[in-house]
């Protein structure tokens, strides 16, 4: 693969990888937005079910509430990871 790029002429050695990176970043940004929306939907469902905000979920004391808390915690982790990755990808867009 690298040898193929080396055979490109002129500015194409730089343009092709940058164009590929931009395309991959746009696709990943779409995937992350989908993950973010999915995580928010799950988080909101648990918050509506228990009538509490994020901070209050850990104080629930039934077995089902404990299971729901674990699921809620998972989705908050997904949300945080997706938002962090989205910020990193947006920074790529500012680099030319």
| H-only helix segments in the chain | 2-6, 12-50, 63-94
How confident is the model over 1-59, as pLDDT tens digits? 556 666 766 777 778 888 888 899 999 999 999 999 999 999 999 888 887 665 566 66
**52 three-state secondary structure:** coil
Q: Going by C-beta distance under 8 Å and a sequence separation of 6 or more, which residues neighbour residue 36?
A: 79, 82, 83, 86
pLDDT band, residue 71 (cuts 50/70/90)? very high
Looking up tokens 């404990």, which residue turns up? 66
Supply the pLDDT for residue 42: 95
For tokens 């918050």, name the residue: 47
């Amino acid at each position: 693969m690298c040898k193929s790029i080396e055979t490109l002429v002129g500015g194409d050695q730089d343009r092709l990888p940058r164009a590929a990176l931009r395309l991959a970043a746009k696709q990943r940004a779409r995937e992350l937005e989908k993950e973010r929306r999915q995580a928010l939907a799950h988080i909101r469902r648990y918050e509506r079910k228990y009538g509490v905000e994020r901070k209050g979920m850990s104080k629930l004391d039934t077995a089902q509430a404990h299971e729901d808390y674990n699921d809620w915690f998972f989705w908050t982790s997904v949300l945080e990871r997706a938002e962090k990755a989205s910020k990193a990808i947006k920074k790529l867009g500012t680099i030319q």
